[in-house]
Amino acid sequence: VPIQRPTINTINIPDFNWLSGFVSGEGNFFVDIFKSDSNKIGYQVKLRLSIVQHSRDRKLLELIVKHLDAGIVNIHSENAFVYKITKLVDLTKKIIPLFEKYPIHGVKQLDFLDFCEVAKLISEGKHLTTDGLNLIRTIKNRMNTKRKID
């Protein structure tokens, strides 16, 4: 007989090590590439850190926003919310340095390192060239579910 899960009312993020562990298990680093008439090359590259949680954990996601002073929480689906950061300045000035100091663990560390590599390419303006965009596509195609572990 199913029972209802207890509600845990988290009132603070314990520390950055906890956050790193939480993102190691629940977070995802994405590179989004989409068509855009606003760029000469015809494509835009956007980085995104996302954490999706059941709707009962919405307050936890809101605490992460407050703790990092970055990102937003939105409805993801009927029973879930998503915390996401897409602002490049927040990603490069807050998130990347945070996870360099308090490392992500497991296979997700590889996704984080690829994410950092793309952030560097973007900051150098290489995403605005065909060669740079192709390199970013190559990096994107080895991340997350496309990653091959030997």
Instruction: For residue 91, give both structure tokens.
Output: 């990603």
Q: What is the CA radius of gyration of the chain?
A: 17
Instruction: For residue 10, give both structure tokens.
Output: 């988290």
SS3 label, residue 116: helix
Q: Give the whole-angstrom CA distance, residue 22 versus residue 77.
A: 21
DSSP assignment letter at 5: P
What are phi and psi for residue 30, nearest 5 degrees?
Answer: -125, 150
* Whole-structure pTM value: 0.89
Q: What is the pLDDT along the chain (150 residues), one digit of tens a residue?
A: 888 877 767 788 889 999 999 999 999 999 999 999 988 899 999 999 999 999 989 999 999 999 999 999 999 999 999 999 999 999 999 999 999 999 999 999 999 999 999 999 999 999 999 999 999 999 999 998 888 876
Instruction: For residue 12, give both structure tokens.
Output: 């603070």
Question: How many of the other CB atoms lie within 10 Å of CB of 109?
Answer: 13
Question: How many of the other CB atoms lie within 10 Å of CB of 83?
Answer: 27
